[in-house]
Amino acid sequence: MERFRRSPVTLILIGINVAFFLTEEIYKNFFPPASLVPILALSSDGLMGGAWWQLITYAFLHGSPFHLLVNIVGLWFTGPLLEEMLGGICYLGLFFGGALVGGLLQTLVSHEGVLIGASGAVCALLVGFATLLPRLEITALIFFIIPVRMKASTLGWLVIVGSFLFWLFGIERGIGHLAHLGGGVAGFVICRIYQACGLVRPMEWIHSAPQAS
């Protein structure tokens, strides 16, 4: 838990996602037909009507506890280390950059329905993690059950290539694969820019950083 004590932005993002989910559940169960979705979910109609805040707010809405859990696990896995490497502001830039690009790509290509969930932003974190630490050995849980040892770069490629192929072949049409793809590509580009600008702290700095008692 020491990592998270030193990574307050990650905890805040997780807290906001949980708070939005609980608020939506309270609205649906106690004040029907009240819902946050028409106002905060991302849709082409909303953007055409000037609701540009939806490009950010959609990332904090989730359709089920499992949907929320998957994205929280992604934040939990990558967030603290990325926050230490990038600092809070650049880390937020990566998160919201992924949400923005992923949401736009999904909405521009698929004009039907609404988009919710932090998956595009989380994919940006996953690919950003792979971009900054490509040779790091990690253990990924496939389907949350099967542990697979791989390099972080492999995880990044799985996110991008997998999202594209799932969209191309129409697998699981109810999932925003283009949001995942857009978020992943944004994560790669943003982290390359951070590296070029010297905004990434080396791992040695993180391991030697003083810890408050």
Q: State the number of CA atoms in the 13 A half-sphere of 4 facing the CB.
A: 10
Q: Strand, coil or helix: what is 45?
A: helix
Instruction: Supply angle C-alpha 137, 143, 144, rounded to 5.
Output: 70
**Residue 60 has what DSSP assignment?**
G
pLDDT, tens digit (0-9, with 9 covering 90-100), for 182-197: 999 999 999 999 999 9
Nearest Cα neighbor of 180 from 69, 106, 96 is 106
pLDDT, tens digit (0-9, with 9 covering 90-100), for 99-110: 999 999 999 998
Does the predicted model carry a pTM greater than 0.85?
Answer: yes
Q: Enumerate the domain spans of the chain.
A: 2-206
Count other Cβ atoms within 10 Å, centred on residue 56.
Answer: 15
pLDDT, tens digit (0-9, with 9 covering 90-100), for 29-39: 888 888 999 99
Q: State the number of CA atoms in the 13 A half-sphere of 103 facing the CB.
A: 30
Q: Strand, coil or helix: what is 90?
A: helix
Decide yes or no: CATH 1.20.1540.10 for domain 2-206: yes
**Residue 201 has what DSSP assignment?**
P
pLDDT at position 80: 93
